[in-house]
Amino acid sequence: MEMKAFEIVVANSDREDIAYLLGADTIDFEIGGNNNFEIKIARELAQKAGIEVGAFLYIPGTEWGGIVEEVSSNVDDSAVTFNGSTWRGLLAKSVIEPPAGQDYLVVSGDIRSILRQLIVGAADSRACFTVPNGFADIFVTSWIVDRYATALETIEKMLAFVGCRIDIDVRPGFPFAVVIDEAPIVDHSQDDEYSQDNPAPGGIKVTRYAGGVNHLICLGQGELRDRLVMHLYVMNDGSIQQSGTPYFAGEAMRTEIYDCSGAKDAADLFKSGQEKLDELRSRDSFELIGYDDHDYPIGDIIGGRDFETGICAVASVTGKILRIESGKAPEIRISIGKVSQSSRWKGGESNGASGGDGKYRVGDICISTLPYPPNYGTWEAWGTGRMPIGINPSDADFNTVGKTGGAKTVTLSLAQIPSHAHTFTPRVGWVNTTPTNATAKVTTTVSTGTGGGMYIDSGNATANTSTAGSGAEHSIMPPYITCYYFKRTA
């Protein structure tokens, strides 16, 4: 994505355009980091442009822009400095609270509808924010919003879960609008990889680190022999597993201890240990030096490669700084985060997938304890609240992919109750006269003397046993453990 020409518009507090910003000494916009901006400009030019606290600055069709929140000056200086928050900075200053009387805010629906609820419907929402009309093709079900998280944190986390990033675009008008939408994460590394053939203007640095940890001993709760201990290993395919034969052994094994006594249980210890080992493992990495002439969106993926050493890696764009200095060409400096995919070091050979496409094909299912999918390709949540079962071509219930069925509970019908009998004890007693019970028939008389006899009710006599049971539903769930399923769709 090539860098665009930059024309900065000044708008008043009513979001009405009043002038272009011209002649500034320096302009610095930062997004993804501190999410703020600073402008140094001569006093008379600032007055001419109408810049003041509460005014807006923006570059049409881009995310660059924000609101002026501070002005400072040295009385002996002819220049004045303006500072403010970018659009992301404003979202970071909006906190989402759980509804009254509830532990969490839970949202469901298509992404755009949820964005409207979180941004436009928020109590401290700014009027400049809007979400496009219509519905998105991506849906989220029962997403639990972290308590008292910022709008920016919530939106970024939720969109990452469905393989998307936040897209911010300022559209001119009277008034102008800051449009917030979702956009798929794009992997630019396959078509526009930095290398000897495609160098960055400021250069890139690639590094291969082969001394990373590949065996992590995780220590959870408990003391001495009762302490929860878990061994995690980096495997041949780059995955992290708790079981199986370790790929690295002998001199190649690098072991470290991870004290995580705060983990609630084994599942929590595994999750924390997995994240820790991913930080400590061997990997290839790269960094951009100086400025770049591309304006990649935050969240997209870029890659770097050195053909001579064979080192290649890809990483997500986490921040950008736009610097415009009088008399110089504009520069964009890109910050990248932790390498998301890299070639793995195996005795001098690389076995990773170049371009960061990972090991999952379209249609594959990723099972994870993390609430977000791999950050390549396009993913959707799959199998929510359901247990998967293998295909069985000879069983009509399980002969094709995607069939659903079953229930968590069941109430037995009469036909489903096993065949059984109830014990009935006949009535035996002494009487002086023949019983007159209409349902009893005297079938046996034993004489005992004058005026008496023993009678037994039997034969076709009818009687009811006492009732038991309530007919309530009962669970048929086997022992289970929950996790996340993601299906790769593109």
pLDDT value of position 197: 82
Cα 434 from Cα 453, distance rounded (Å): 9
Look-up: residue for tokens 């040295």? Answer: 74
Cα 98 from Cα 118, distance rounded (Å): 11
**202 and 349, same structural domain?**
yes
pLDDT value of position 442: 45
**276 and 140, same structural domain?**
no
pLDDT value of position 86: 97
Q: Is residue 99 a part of any domain in this protein? A: yes
Paired with 182 in beta bridges are 166
**266 and 222, same structural domain?**
yes
Q: Is residue 372 a part of any domain in this protein? A: no
Does position 140 have pLDDT exceeding 80, yes or no?
yes
Which amino acid, residue 445? T
CA 411 to chain centre: 37
Cα 264 from Cα 421, distance rounded (Å): 49
**177 and 36, same structural domain?**
no
For residues 418-439, average pLDDT: 59
**178 and 115, same structural domain?**
yes
**229 and 85, same structural domain?**
no
Which of these, 42, 35, 130, 44, lies nearest to 83 by C-alpha position? 35
Spell out the residues 6+ positions from residue 456 whose beta carbon is closer than 8 angstroms to its own.
Answer: 426, 427, 428, 442, 443, 444
For residue 427, what pLDDT band results from cuts at 50, 70 and 90?
low
Q: Are 118 and 151 in contact (CB under 8 A)?
A: yes
Q: What does the mean pLDDT of the chain come to?
A: 81
Which amino acid, residue 357? D
Q: Is 399 exposed, middle or buried (0-12, 13-18, 19+ CB in 10 A)?
A: exposed
Q: How many CB atoms lie within 10 A of CB 221?
A: 16
Last residue within a domain, chosen from 249, 280, 311:
280
What are the C-alpha distances in Å from 113 to residues 104, 120, 250? 18, 10, 54
43-89 pLDDT tens trace: 999 999 999 999 999 999 999 999 999 999 887 788 999 999 999 99
pLDDT value of position 31: 95
Does position 135 have pLDDT exceeding 80, yes or no?
yes
Spell out the residues 6+ positions from residue 447 whose beta carbon is closer than 8 angstroms to its own.
Answer: 453
**146 and 19, same structural domain?**
no
Last residue within a domain, chosen from 224, 257, 280:
280
The number of C-alpha atoms within 13 Å of 184 and in the hemisphere containing its C-beta is 13
Q: Are 78 and 45 in contact (CB under 8 A)?
A: no
For residues 130-146, average pLDDT: 88
DSSP conformation letters of 37-74: EEEEEEHHHHHHHT--TT-EEE-TTSS-EEEEEEEEE-
Q: Which helix (H) or strand (E) holds 447?
A: strand 441-447
For residue 457, what pLDDT band results from cuts at 50, 70 and 90?
very low
Of 226-230, 312-316, 469-473, the poorest mean pLDDT is in 469-473
Q: Hey, is 148 helix, strand or coil?
A: coil
Q: Is residue 484 a part of any domain in this protein? A: no
Cα 297 from Cα 327, distance rounded (Å): 26
CATH number of the domain to which 165 belongs: 3.55.50
What are the C-alpha distances in Å from 220 to residues 230, 258, 480? 8, 9, 22
Q: Is residue 232 a part of any domain in this protein? A: yes
Q: Is residue 440 a part of any domain in this protein? A: no
Q: Are 451 and 434 in contact (CB under 8 A)?
A: no
Does position 276 have pLDDT exceeding 90, yes or no?
yes
Which amino acid, residue 422? H
pLDDT value of position 277: 92
CA 271 to chain centre: 14
Q: Is residue 325 a part of any domain in this protein? A: yes
Cα 51 from Cα 43, distance rounded (Å): 10
Q: Which range of residues forms the domain containing residue 175?
A: 94-184
What are the C-alpha distances in Å from 136 to residues 13, 120, 164, 184, 420? 31, 16, 12, 12, 57
Q: Is residue 194 a part of any domain in this protein? A: yes
Q: Are 168 and 152 in contact (CB under 8 A)?
A: no
Q: Are 255 and 280 in contact (CB under 8 A)?
A: no
**179 and 323, same structural domain?**
no
**231 and 105, same structural domain?**
no
**347 and 204, same structural domain?**
yes
Predicted structure pTM score: 0.61
Q: Is residue 489 a part of any domain in this protein? A: no
Considering only the C-alpha atoms of the chain, give the largest distance between any 2 of them, rounded to a whole number of Å.
137
pLDDT value of position 222: 92
Last residue within a domain, chosen from 226, 255, 280:
280
For residue 416, what pLDDT band results from cuts at 50, 70 and 90?
confident
Spell out the residues 6+ positions from residue 418 whose beta carbon is closer than 8 angstroms to its own.
Answer: none
Q: Hey, is 226 helix, strand or coil?
A: helix
**203 and 295, same structural domain?**
yes
Total tally of structural domains belonging to the chain: 4
**84 and 107, same structural domain?**
no
Q: Are 377 and 357 in contact (CB under 8 A)?
A: yes
Q: Hey, is 92 helix, strand or coil?
A: helix
pLDDT value of position 438: 41
Does position 422 have pLDDT exceeding 90, yes or no?
no
pLDDT value of position 413: 80
Q: Are 427 and 457 in contact (CB under 8 A)?
A: yes
Pull the structure tokens for residue 288: 């951009």
What are the C-alpha distances in Å from 166 to residues 142, 159, 189, 284? 20, 7, 20, 27
